[in-house]
Amino acid sequence: MKGKRIGIEKKPQGNNQFINALLENAINLLKQKGAVIIEIDYLDKINAFSEAEFEVMQYEFKEGLNNYLSSANAKVKTLKEVIDFNMGNEDKTMPYFKQETLESSNLKSGLEKKEYTEALNKSHNGSKKILDSVIYENKLDAICGITMGPACSIDLIYGDRWGYSLTMPAAASGYPHITVPGGKVYDLPVGISFFGTAYSEPKLIGIAYAYEQASNNRIKPEFKKSFL
C-alpha cells in the first residue's frame, strides 16, 4: 500500500455519521500504511449519466430475459408473458409494488436501435472518459469509497434508506471493482470499494488485500432476531 495514490470523492456520499465515520477510518488507515490520499470530484459527473444507464438497462434486460426464457423450463417465454401473468394475478404478485420497470422495458426492442446505441455510448464511453481523466490526471492507482450502506429492511413507503452506492462508476464503464469489509453500522456489515481503469485488477487486488489484512474488519456473520 505504501506510495499508492488513492482517490476519494471530496463530497460526502451521504449524510449518515456512522457510515461516513467508516470511510474516515479507512482513509486514516490507508494513510498510516503509506498511501497518498487525493481528493477528487467525479461522482456528480458520473451520476449525470444515470438516465442513459437506465435506458441501456431496459433494452438489455428485455433482450436478455427473452433469450433466457425462450429456452428455459418455464411456462412464460417472454417478458410480455411475465407482465401478463402478473396482471392476471395482481393481488398475489403485486400487493405493494407494481411492474413499471418491466412494462417500460417491454416497450424497448432491438439492440440495434439508435436510441440504445446512443444511450450506451453516453453512459459507457462517458463514464470511461470521466474516470480515465480523473485517474490519469491525478496519477491514481485506485479510487476508494463506501460500497453501499448496511442492508435495510424493505420499506413499503420510502423504499431503500441510505443512498450510498459506489457500484455505478465501475458498472457503467466496465472497469474492475473490488469490495472488502469496511466495518459495521447498526451491527450490519458495510463494504469499502476500490476500483480503477481497465486491466488494473492485479493492482486493485493487491491494494484491497493489503487494506483487508491491515484493517481486520471482517466479522463472522450472525443470525440475530433484531438489530435494534
Average pLDDT of span 5-22: 94
Q: How far apart are CA 25 and CA 215, in angstroms?
A: 9
Confidence of residue 220 (pLDDT cuts 50, 70, 90): confident
For residue 223, which amino acid is it? F
Q: Is residue 228 part of a domain?
A: no
Strands of the chain, DSSP E: 5-9, 36-40, 142-146, 177-185, 188-195
**Together in a domain, 23 and 135:** yes
What is the domain range of residue 94?
50-117
**Together in a domain, 129 and 153:** yes
At 16, list the grid cell: 449518515
**Together in a domain, 84 and 112:** yes
pLDDT digits (tens, 9 = 90+) for 45-73: 999 999 999 999 999 999 999 999 999 99
**Together in a domain, 137 and 182:** yes
pLDDT digits (tens, 9 = 90+) for 114-139: 999 999 999 999 999 999 999 999 99
**Together in a domain, 29 and 129:** yes
**Together in a domain, 136 and 40:** yes
Average pLDDT of span 20-48: 96
Does 35 or 224 have the greater pLDDT score? Answer: 35
What pLDDT does residue 96 have?
87
Q: Is residue 131 part of a domain?
A: yes
C-alpha distances in angstroms, 190 versus 13, 80, 132, 164, 170? Answer: 14, 37, 27, 10, 18
Q: Is residue 96 part of a domain?
A: yes
Neighbour tally for 110: CB within 10 Å: 11
Q: Is residue 94 part of a domain?
A: yes
